[in-house]
Amino acid sequence: MDTQKALDDLHSCLGQRLSRSKSDLDLHGASESYFPPSPPDAVAYPETTAEVAQIIAICARHRVPVVGWGTGTSLEGQSQAFSGGVVVDFSRMNRILDVAQADMVARVQPGVTREALNEELRATGLFFPVDPGANAALGGMAATRASGTTAVRYGTMRDNVLALEVVTARGEVIRTGTAARKSSAGYDLTGLFVGSEGTLGLITELTLRLYGQPEAISAAVCAFETVADAVETVIDTIQCGVPMARIELMDEASVRAVNAWSRMNLPEKPHLLLEFHGSDSGVREQAESFGAIAADHHGSGFDWATRPEARSALWTMRHNAYYAILASRPGARAIVTDICVPISRLAEAIEETRADLASAGVAGPILGHVGDGNFHAVLLVDADDKAEIARAKAASDRMVERALRLGGTATGEHGIGVGKLGYMEREHGQGWAMMGAIKAALDPDNIMNPGKMVPPRN
């Protein structure tokens, strides 16, 4: 590896758009989670696919690591350059290239954020539904196979990316998929790159599935005496076929945190936060059906509203819950767990997790996208207390073992990075070695986001 020669060559191509300033390196070495700062050697700001191809070709020639960067919101260290090298920041590749309204498809560059796309789509009557909470870049969302609050109805990035343009580890530009809604033509290369976390190549263009804006939207909250009552309500709602757009859980500790952060006054009980999409009559019927199910499980205070400002306040509160929980223990860092289980095992998984955290003395407010069996315990730790971090990591490990025992997965949406690397063999067995073989075939010099996702190379 000859980093200096690579940087010299990159500077010749990019000029001032190759940054080595301390502020830039520190920004791109930081993490939203508990990982230590890991500044790269340089940050590149390409403006075209051709420049991305040039960057990777130069780095490949000198065997210098390359790490993609959208907005830096990933939680498992995916965008940190733990091996040094060059971070490729896509903030200047932020154009919406085309909106095919009749086909309900959009083509975008990877630096476009989900909020920017939906702002552009407002006049078309269409929207892009995947909502991880943070205003993440769509390229990063595809790379981590993100989902979020609306996955219960609209699916994840896996379901909503139709095609990609990708620059491979050799600096070649390839296209995967088409704007057609289905295809039987060969291997699903789009599916391979969605969720690959930049370990196989960098995404430089996405073709995305869009949806029609619902005629009517209403949001609601409902309190419960116990988490078990709330979860049983979720299970019954899903099994009864009520077409929820969002159905989110917050336990007592999460509610207490968001009350303090967002100046809300929710009762300090477990809550479900909901959203219904459809026609005026359909939304009303959905809300009434849910209300009846909730009442059977001791739900109280069920209140729903259609005013946009009320809905916005509710989901802003939910999206800020992570920061609210962090603020509940000033100075703490978070180990964010992310298990997902079959919906029928959800109550069991949550109750066992709550009991385990209480027994271990680990603070871990629980919230999540329970409509698809995915929930998070935000484990609050003192970053300087090694014993506390060890207890929290042990509790996180037991959560994964529990999820796998119940037929689930270590991560429903945050991905692997380095934070969940140790769980891959347990979940996939020999399949993990196969992932490593794919990585070795497509990136023989191991320059693309090394140390993430696949088995370490000798």
Nearest Cα neighbor of 197 from 75, 97, 85 is 75
Q: Which fold has domain 329-417?
A: Alpha-Beta Plaits (3.30.70)
* Residue 1: band (very low, low, confident or very high) from pLDDT cuts 50, 70, 90: confident
Mean pLDDT, residues 366-389 taken together? 93
Mean pLDDT, residues 283-309 taken together? 90
Q: Which fold has domain 96-212?
A: 3.30.465
The SS3 of residue 431 is helix
* Residue 350: band (very low, low, confident or very high) from pLDDT cuts 50, 70, 90: very high
Q: What pLDDT score was predicted for residue 126?
A: 98
* Residue 304: band (very low, low, confident or very high) from pLDDT cuts 50, 70, 90: confident
Q: What pLDDT score was predicted for residue 435?
A: 98
Q: Which residues pair with 338 in a beta bridge?
A: 411
Q: Are 236 and 329 in contact (CB under 8 A)?
A: no
Contact partners, residue 233, CB within 8 Å, separation at least 6:
222, 224, 272, 290, 293, 294, 296, 297, 299
Mean pLDDT, residues 114-136 taken together? 95
CATH 3.30.43.10 placement within the chain: 3-89
82-91, 236-245, 303-312, 438-447: least confidently modelled range = 303-312
CATH 3.30.70.2190 placement within the chain: 216-323
**SS3 sequence of 233-302:** HHHHHHHCCCCEEEEEEECHHHHHHHHHHHCCCCCCCCEEEEEEEECHHHHHHHHHHHHHHHHHCCCEEE
Q: Are 111 and 92 in contact (CB under 8 A)?
A: yes
The backbone torsions φ and ψ at residue 163, rounded to the nearest 5 degrees and listed phi first, read: -155, 160
User: Does the structure show a pLDDT above 80 at 330?
Assistant: yes
* Residue 81: band (very low, low, confident or very high) from pLDDT cuts 50, 70, 90: very high
CA atoms within 13 A on the CB side of 214: 20
CATH 3.30.70.2740 placement within the chain: 329-417
Cα distance between residue 357 and residue 219, in whole Å: 31
User: Does the structure show a pLDDT above 90 at 307?
Assistant: no
User: Does the structure show a pLDDT above 90 at 151?
Assistant: yes
Q: What pLDDT score was predicted for residue 458?
A: 67
The domain defined by 216-323 carries CATH number 1.10.10.10: no
Q: What pLDDT score was predicted for residue 133?
A: 85
pLDDT tens-digit profile of 197-227?
Answer: 999 999 999 999 999 999 999 999 999 999 9
Cα distance between residue 403 and residue 339, in whole Å: 6
Cα distance between residue 96 and residue 114, in whole Å: 11
The domain defined by 3-89 carries CATH number 3.30.43.10: yes
Mean pLDDT, residues 56-77 taken together? 96
* Residue 310: band (very low, low, confident or very high) from pLDDT cuts 50, 70, 90: confident
